[in-house]
Structure 1
Amino acid sequence: MKNLFKTILHDRHVDLGAQMVEFGGWVMPIQYPQGIVREHLATRRHAGLFDVSHMGRFTLRGQDALPFLQHVLSNNAGGLEEGESQYTLIPNDRGGAIDDAYLYRFHADEYLLVVNAGNRLKDWDHFQSSLPDFKNVIMEDKTKDISMLSLQGPTSKDILQKIMDTGALPEPMRNHLSIATIQGRKVLIARTGYTGEPLCFELFIDSADTPGIWDLLMDQGAHPVGLGARDTLRLEAGLPLYGHELGMDPDNKEIPIYASPLSRFAVSLSPLKKDFIGRNALEKQFEAFKKIADRDYSLIHDLPRCIMPVALKKKSVARAGYKVFQGNRHVGYVTSGTMIPRWEIEGEGIFSKLTENHGLRGICLALVDSTLVEGDDIEIEIRSKQVPAVIVPFHMRSEAPPFARSIPWDRIGQEKGPSGKEEISKNVQSLLIKSIRNTEWRQKECINLIPSEQTQSELIRLLSIMDPCGRYAEHKQVSAFSVAEVFYYQGTDFIAEVEAKLETELKKFFGCQQVETRLVSGQMANMALFSALVDYINRADRKSEQRRLRKVMNNHIIKGGHLSAQPMGALRDFVARDPLSEKPAVVNFPVLPENPYKIDLSACETLIQKHEPELIIFGKSMVLHKEPVTEVRRIINGLGIDSVIMYDMAHVLGLVGPHFQEPFKEGADFITGSTHKTFFGTQRGIIGTDITDEDPRFELWEAVKRRAFPGSVSNHHLGTILGLLMATYEMNHFKDEYPKKVLDNARVFAKALNDCGLSVAGDPEISFTETHQVILNVGYAKGPAIARKLEENNLIVNYQAAPVEEGFTASGSLRMGVQEMTRFGMEATDFEELAQFFKDVLVDNRIVKEAVISFRNRFLEMKYCFTTDQVGDKIQKLHELL
């Protein structure tokens, strides 16, 4: 192996007994003594450590660095903020790939581009041919100066956290970056990788410092992995490899970039990229791809074949270059294939887990005719025999951290058939029996601490199923009748009276001028308001395509933000795409480094000044602090920015008032919310505002009314309207007592849990919480199992991902609320006693189910509601009507 490059870790690999091979001009470990299968499995179960220092690393600086990257790369480098990265390609003018690459922006004034080892010199020369057109670019080859390690797998996060001195891991989202020190050495950390693992990190380290950090990672339990398992891991994840899924096909024809599913997402046709290399060809491929997605093959000549994952139905091995057939028709070639190992899984859903057993299965990626689709049966010619196979959507999934899960072809889309007629009678009986038992269990035997739930009073529940339940009462204001409400149905006088009284009571509760009550959920309320805002900003132009909200500021879902306020939720159809980033035009509230549950107002002001959001959305589903409405109103007024402040109070709606927050006095323009969490009501949604009919923005409120009806609802569920009126009577009657008691109980409960030695999130200086919620840290990814353990002891909580965790399946916290049990009469001393049950279960591993049932029997009578003595015989008459 003369004249080959060696990484700084070459001797480490040799000492570990690695089998060394030539790869891309380097001497690299193909496997260690444990072998490829064990290395693959170790990565999927623990953490695999890869030396990927053979990859090329170029740095680019200077005023023209960004324009240069926009010209020579396929993706939109202009969309990268400092601390972000992206997958990209180096296209040729025919729309094929010279190479694929990863672009990192660790520093505002410098980019780092990682390319394939075997293409490093070719890529460098290609870039040099374009550099003369960009005068102010400093491009340097740092391959030898900077080494690169890849740490991938479920325990990789824990390993890194143990050895870091300063700094932090990147935000828990793919492609985010950070800078830290390990034993005093500077390390650039990226949440990227080539394995499909949801927990994935790549480290960039000065070469001289790399052996020491390799040793540290090994000492913490990382498993060394060679190029062999790196290939099986990326194949299982469906990731392309240059020379296989990119480059030239077995017929020596160029593979279009749009043929690869992942590569499609690495192409930007933004006007900001101007006439970049390959643009014309890629635009043609894109047009062809859109038609192919609609089963229109009129442009298929521009994208004749696509890369698709294929699973073999029999035990066999498909290798690159093998022919693929459908019947007698040759439809393509295998581009990559092998037998890959997988851990077998037992259990279902979030409680499923890897067993100690593993199996092997044949999978591949294939370049096949674009007319083929997922689910099509095909055959692969292996040693002159036709082996049955099927096109599958994927070989594995990564969206349930901390584990990636292998998905065999015969377990995709399994469904149970419908019940037969003979079973229906049994099912009816079973439903009734189980409903009775469940109600007894939750209402008489459990301590219910879900923060988004509330038991309604007997009166509310009875009224909700009284007539007009199931009837219609559509209505709208008609200007021709002096803006009177006109109902479309007869028999509606009573519900008309109920709705009018409900509006009056809600205005009194919230301290506002207008309320819309016809929405049937909090998410629908948000959607109606978003839609109204879009309608309002387009009020002067009803002929052009309606523009969306240019920029929105919100709480990110990982930091506790409401799902409905996210681009993945109700906001999706109403927010514009940022032309620079090509992502939804949303900027997130920054949080304090020392307290990720609280907004950093100083950083927030900087972002507001930079982005000038049209809409600012407060509100969280994981909420320990009051939202800084007053402070942000002061900021936007001081900057002269015309922003609408909306507060989604779903979780804290019933706490509105002097003991918590008074949103309109503090500067909110709108509130939305669910009426069944801390509020006593039925499951509905509301919108409120203090805008009067003399306000220039009253047109916006009129748009809200239109987007409620007919924009969102037709039948607005009249029974639950009736129940909500009774709930609002209750809220107004107990407005001073109930919120204060809830907030006091939450602080006592949090402090008691802390005193029991449990890890309570939040600021101890304020007794951990300013709301009804208490958050308990229980260990990374342990939340679901611990929540189940508590449920087995009749303690009902909600597992929750903390702000540093990758998703709900990796939840390491429990989210709890005291609002429901406070309503059943629990006082501060009772919550102190409750905290002891948590210690018994979580620390002492005791079974306390019977003790909890006995404890709950003390709290069966609902408080903060109207009693039989107050309403006389009316409850009995309601019962008699059923």
Structure 2
Amino acid sequence: MSDLKRTLFYERHVEAGAKMVDFGGWEMPIQYPEGIVTEHLATRSGCGLFDVSHMGRFRITGNDAKAFLQHVLTSNVSALDLNQAQYAIIPNENGGAIDDAYLYRFVEDAYILVVNASNADKDWAHLTREIKAFDAQIENKSEAVALVSLQGPKSKQILSDLADGAFLTEPVKNALGTVKLGGKTVHIAKTGYTGEPVGYEIFALREDGLFLWDELVKHGAKPIGLGARDTLRMEAGLPLYGHELGFDRDGNEIPIFAISLARFAVSFAEEKKGMIGRAPLERQFAVSSRILNRDFSDLNALPRRVRPIALTGRGVLRAGFPVFKDGKEIGYVTSGTMIPRYVVENQGSLLETFTDQKAMRSIGLALLASDVLTDDIVEVDIRGSKISAVVPAWHLRSDAPPYARPIVLDAPEESKDKPSADLPLSALNLLKKAADNHLWRQEQCINLIPSEMTASRAVRLLSGSDPSFRYAEHKRTASFNDHEVFYYQGTKFIDEVERALVAELVKYFHCTEVEARVISGQMSNVTVFSALMDYKNRLDRKHTPKRLGYILNNHIIKGGHLSAQPMGALHDYVAIDPTTERSAVVNFPVLRENLFKIDVEETKKVIERYRPEFIIFGKSMVLHKEPVREIRQFVDEMKIPTTIMYDMAHVLGLVGSHFQMPFEEGAEIVTGSTHKTFFGPQRGVIAVNYKEDELKYDLWKTIQTRAFPGAVSNHHLGTVVGLLMAAYEMNAFGDAYQKNVIANAKSFAKSLKAAGLDVAGDPAISYTETHQVIVKTGYGTGPEVAERLEENNVIVNYQATPEEEGFTASGALRLGVSEMTRFGFGPKEFEQLANLIADCVLRNKPIAAEVAKLRAGYTTLGYCFSDEEVSKALDALATTSGM
């Protein structure tokens, strides 16, 4: 193998005992002494280190760099922001693949394109030929830059340790960053070829490569050879050029849309009119779209697609084996082998864990007729024997970090309850269990979930009394001087209640108008989004309504509300930017030194760039006030026409001088839930501060019509009555309650810190300005710690912090003091509780009895009307209503 090329790390592979082989003209490690199975599992459970310096690395610059890349790649390069990467394919004129690649943008004025090692020379020739028509330059950086890949659930911690805790990248796929590892400046990308949800590729100067390799190994990364790299990518369903891309076994070109990644990797944006192979790719896309609708009438442009395949009979899949369905050959295996997985405990739950047992399965990929459906039963010809197999949706899922999770064919299905065989007995059991649960939650547990609040007896009784099961639809009608007209009789009481409720909420919010018929915070937001879209289109009712343009919000990973995300309630109302082909949503930047707080100065830059027509403040993980005043002042100065909304769902009960006065600070609309820090039953509310002589008062009128008849018919009248009592309570006791909630949160945070727990936030403000406290427990440990606390009568939320990929990777607890403040807790009690929590979390000490004992002294709800006259009236209501 003397003529083979070697990477910078060749000596390290040999020293570690690797078996070296010829791979595309490179002498590379196929496996280390422990073998492919061990290496595969080590990556899935820990951290694998891969030498990928054999791959080609090209740097593209110049005035036409983007235009050139739009021409030679399938991806939409205009969608590639700074510090982002994207998967792409280098197409030929026939709609086939010259290669697949990854494009990185670490700096503003340059791109890095990484291509397959075996195709690097071919790709270089093609790209250098095509670039001659553009004012752009391409450089081959393959020798100057070392490239390694770090993959697996522990890779993040290893990198973080080497970076001394510095910020790596945003915790999303394809994010990029520049950081110092062991003192050496490197570029890192949250990308990889293993299917791992947590993994990185590291670009370093050649002279720093060996140092970094040694440091990564020293910190726990396990070197992995190409054998396991292949099994890992196969399990993840990722294509390999020469198998799933390029040419099939008969010498025919495999269409790019034969692989599922094409739907993400191919763009037909306006800017890509000159893309190589666009016309055949459009034909492939058309067929692919029809296939999704199970229209197989014309498959000429896409006769076969690459699909996962798994043997259900005995045998081992190998590339080239024919596949049959109903006796007819429908394709062949493109990649296949025996692939290991760990056996897990608690399968199907967040507490799922690997055991030390492993299992093997024969899985792979196959190029099959395009009319083959998921879960179809097929047969594989293995040396003359027809062995049963299935076409599953996938072999592995990566959407529950920090682990990639095998999807196995024999996994037990979730059991479904059967209807009761003894209805009277089931009814009695339900009553008993409800009573037990009520006793446990109200007298033995300490509830620290920030989004929950026990309502007063008055609120609960009123919410269940008549008219809780009645109707009272009503609407303002111009013919009757814009008075409310009810569609039902027997509604005079609820009419009186609703008018009183609006008056109390207007007083509470210091605003002009309130809509209280919406029955949840999510519905409040949907109603506003619908109204804004309708208002935007009010001048043209003859065409399809335009969606909302750019929207500025808090990203869900940074604590933003689900309902303010494009995959949440915004989904049907936000436009797609035709340039980026993504939802027209941008996020508030946050301070690098405090990821829980909006960076106002950077936000101003975002606003100048995008000029959002809608700005949504508000979070569900909230430690700080939102900078409403600063942003209102800025958009007014810049004369940017926008609407500012504050979704105060979690802090609705804190509106006031101790926290924020949203309308005084410049918000136009406030939405929220009435049952979190507010005292009410589970409902929603919309408040605005528009006046009748203002243009946007018409938006308020639209909000009303989108509430009814747009969002609700029956608006749950019992809880409307309950909400009125809650509004009376807030206006009577809110000032003292809010002051104590914020003081208790600060005190609780300091006590938790003193007890040895890792409290997030700014210590200069005692970690919080709200009712919430965030405690870090360690990456991915939040669900287990939350479960342990529940077993000990402390009810909390597990919470992903802004550094973590999602709720399954939660490494923190979100705690709220509002409910226990109403039950009489003060700094002393919260200090006791902090010490108990520390015992449970840090020392795994059982604390259930002590928690129940502490709670037993605090079972009377405060900040509500409780004098003798009210108590008698409540007893009378309970008797009258049968409750």
- TM-score normalised according to structure 2 size: 0.98
Q: Match for residue 130 of structure 1?
A: 130
2:36 counterpart of 1:36 = yes
Counterpart residue number, 1:27: 27
Pairing of 1:333-352 with structure 2 (within 5 A): 333-348=332-347, 349-352=349-352
Equivalence for 1:17: 17
* Structure 1 residue 423 displacement after superposition: 5.6
* Contact preservation (8 Å) 1:152, 1:200: yes
Q: Is the 8 A contact 1:166 1:182 kept in 2?
A: no
Q: Does 1:69 align with 2:60?
A: no
Distance 1:643 1:534 in 2: 13
Cα deviations by residue, 1:804-824 (Å, 9 ceiling, x for unpaired): 111111111111010000001
Pair 1:421–1:807, CA change in 2 (3 A):
closer
Letter in 2 for 1:628: P
Residue in 2 aligned with 1:456?
Answer: 455
Q: Secondary structure at the match of 1:87?
A: strand
Of residues 813-822 and 179-188 in structure 1, the stretch that sits farther from structure 2 once superposed is 179-188
Listed one character per residue, the Cα deviations across residues 172-203 of structure 1 (whole Å, up to 9, x for unaligned) are: 00100001122332211000000011111000
Q: Distance in 1 between matches of 2:452 and 2:586?
A: 30
In structure 2, what residue type is equivalent to 1:822? T
Q: Does the 8 Å CA contact 1:47/1:151 hold for their aligned counterparts?
A: yes
Deviation at 1:470, TM superposition (A): 2.0
Inter-partner Cα distance in structure 2 for 1:838 and 1:186: 40
Between the aligned partners of 1:167 and 1:871, the Cα distance in structure 2 is: 57
| Percentage of pairs with the same residue | 54
Equivalent in the alignment of 2:94: 94
Q: 1:420-470 deviations in whole A, cap 9, x for unaligned?
A: 552655543432222111110000001100000000111111111111112
Corresponding letter in the other structure for 1:50: F
Give distance in 2, aligned partners of 1:201 and 1:430. Answer: 52
Task: List runs of 5+ in structure 2 lacking aligned partners.
Answer: none
Q: Name the aligned partner's letter for residue 792 of structure 2.
A: N
Offset of 1:840 from its aligned partner?
2.1
Task: Compute the displacement of 1:580 (Å).
Answer: 2.2
C-alpha distance after superposition, 1:307-354 (max 9, x if no partner): 111111123211111111111111111111111000000014001100
Distance 2:868 2:104 in 1: 70
Query: What does residue 184 of structure 1 align with?
Result: 183
Deviations 1:559-578 (CA, angstroms, capped at 9, x unpaired): 11111111111111111112
Cα RMSD after superposing both structures: 1.3
Describe the SS at the equivalent of 1:734: helix
Describe how 1:634-713 pairs up with structure 2 within 5 A. 634-713=633-712
CA distance in 2, matches of 1:518, 1:760: 39
- Alignment partners' CA distance in 1, 2:239 and 2:68: 25
* Paired residues of 1:759 and 1:776 also in contact (CA < 8 A): yes
Query: What displacement does 1:846 show?
Result: 2.2
**Which residue matches 1:801?**
800
SS in 1 for 2:161: helix
- 1:344-383 to structure 2, matched below 5 A, reads 344-348=343-347, 349-383=349-383
Q: Relative to structure 2, which stretch is displaced further, 175-184 or 209-218?
A: 175-184
**Aligned equivalents of 1:370, 1:430: Cα separation in 2:** 53
Match of 1:754 in 2: 753
Give 1:47's aligned residue.
47
Residue in 1 that maps onto 2:116: 116
Q: What TM-score results when the alignment is normalised by the length of structure 1?
A: 0.98
The question of whether the paired residues in 2 share the 8 Å contact of 1:868 and 1:875 is answered with: no
SS at match of 1:826: coil
State the AA in 2 paired with 1:72: V
| Counterpart-to-counterpart distance in 1, 2:469 and 2:24 | 71
Q: State how far apart, in whole Å, the 1-side matches of 2:851 and 2:389 are.
A: 55
Distance in 1 (alpha carbons) for counterparts of 2:818 and 2:544: 46
CA distance in structure 2 between the aligned counterparts of 1:316 and 1:727, rounded to whole angstroms: 67
* Alpha-carbon distance between aligned partners in 2 of 1:632 and 1:420, rounded to the nearest angstrom: 55
Task: Provide the residue aligned with 1:523 in structure 2.
Answer: 522
Residue equivalent to 1:6: 6
- 2:560 aligned residue: 561
Cα deviation digits, residues 755-775 of structure 1 (max 9, x gap)? 222211111111111000011
Paired position in structure 2 for 1:275: 274
Which whole-Å CA distance do the structure 1 matches of 2:734 and 2:745 have between them?
17
1:410 Cα deviation after fit: 2.5
Q: CA offset at residue 407 of structure 1?
A: 1.2
2:177 counterpart letter in structure 1? S
Cα distance change on mapping 1:423 and 1:305 into 2, 3 Å: farther
1:160-171 mapped onto 2 (5 Å cutoff): 160-164=159-163, 168-171=167-170
Q: 1:267 to 1:356 in 2, by over 3 A?
A: same
Q: Deviations over 1:729-761 (max 9, x none)?
A: 111111211111111111111111112222111
Moved more, 835-844 or 607-616: 835-844
Q: Distance in 1 between matches of 2:748 and 2:801?
A: 19
Q: Helix, strand or coil: the match of 1:205?
A: strand
| Residues in 2 aligned to 1:502 and 1:42: alpha-carbon distance in whole angstroms | 61
How do 1:194-273 residues align onto structure 2 when only pairs under 5 Å count?
Answer: 194-273=193-272
Query: Taking structure 1 as reference, are residues 691 and 420 closer, same or farther at Cα in structure 2, changes over 3 Å only?
Result: closer
SS at match of 1:28: strand
Shift of 1:165: 5.4
Give the Cα separation in 1 of the matches to 2:561 and 2:870.
38
* AA in 2 matched with 1:17: G
User: 1:519-576 deviations in whole A, cap 9, x for unaligned?
Assistant: 1110111111011111111111111221111101111111111111111111111111
Alpha-carbon distance, 1:392 to partner: 0.8
Structure 1 unaligned residues grouped into runs of 5+:
none
Distance 1:872 1:786, change over 3 A: closer
Contact 2:321 2:380 in 1 (8 A): yes
Q: Deviations over 1:644-675 (max 9, x none)?
A: 11000000000101111110000000000000
Range with bigger deviation, 491-500 or 661-670:
491-500
Q: Which residue identity lines up with residue 191 of structure 1 in the other structure?
A: K
Deviation string for 1:394-423 (max 9, x for gaps)?
Answer: 1111111111111112228x2434415526
- Partners of 2:734 and 2:431 in 1: CA distance: 37
User: 1:166: Cα distance to partner?
Assistant: 8.4
Note closer, same or farther for the CA distance 1:790–1:417 as it changes in structure 2 (3 Å cut).
closer
The one-character-per-residue Cα deviations of 1:128-164 (angstroms, maximum 9, x if unpaired) are 2212211x21101111111110000011111111112
State which drifts further: 584-593 or 224-233.
584-593
2:392 is the alignment partner of 1:385: no
Q: Is contact 2:160-2:166 (8 Å) kept?
A: no
| SS of residue paired to 2:829 | helix
Question: 2-side partners of 1:250 and 1:778: how far apart?
Answer: 52
| In structure 2, distance between residues paired with 1:20 and 1:429 | 70
Conserved? CA contact 2:574–2:583, under 8 Å: yes
Q: Distance in 1 between matches of 2:197 and 2:844?
A: 31
Amino acid corresponding to residue 397 of structure 1 in structure 2: R
Which residue is 1:83 aligned to?
A: 83
Q: What does the per-residue CA deviation read over 1:571-602, in whole Å, with 9 as the maximum and x for residues that have no partner?
A: 11111112222111111111111111111111
1:465 aligned to 2:469? no
Contact 1:324 1:381 in 2 (8 A): yes
Aligned equivalent of 1:480:
479
Cα distance in 2 for residues equivalent to 1:590 and 1:787:
29
Q: Quick one: distance in 1 between partners of 2:850 and 2:165?
A: 46
Say if 1:165 and 1:180, in contact at 8 Å, map to a contact too: no
Q: Displacement, 1:838?
A: 1.6
- Indicate if the aligned counterparts of 1:165 and 1:184 stay in contact, CA closer than 8 A: no
Q: Which one is further off, 462-471 or 71-80?
A: 462-471
Deviations along 1:707-744, whole A, 9 cap, x unmatched? 11111111111111111111111111112111111111
| Equivalent residue pairs, number | 880
C-alpha displacement at 1:167, in angstroms?
5.1
The more displaced of 420-429 and 573-582 is 420-429
| Preserved CA contact (<8 Å) 1:88 1:267 | yes
Measured in 2, the distance between the counterparts of 1:88 and 1:114 equals: 10
1:777-814 deviation per Cα after TM superposition (whole angstroms, max 9, x unaligned): 11111111111111121111111111111111111111
Q: Tell me the amino acid that sits aligned with residue 216 of structure 1.
A: E
The yes-or-no answer on 1:150 pairing with 2:141 is no
Q: How far apart are the structure 1 equivalents of 2:661 and 2:285? A: 51
Whether the 8 Å contact between 1:750 and 1:768 is mirrored in structure 2 is yes
Aligned 8 A contact 1:459 1:875 in 2 = yes
Q: Given that residues 447 and 794 in structure 1 are in contact (C-alpha distance below 8 angstroms), is that contact kept between their aligned partners in structure 2?
A: yes
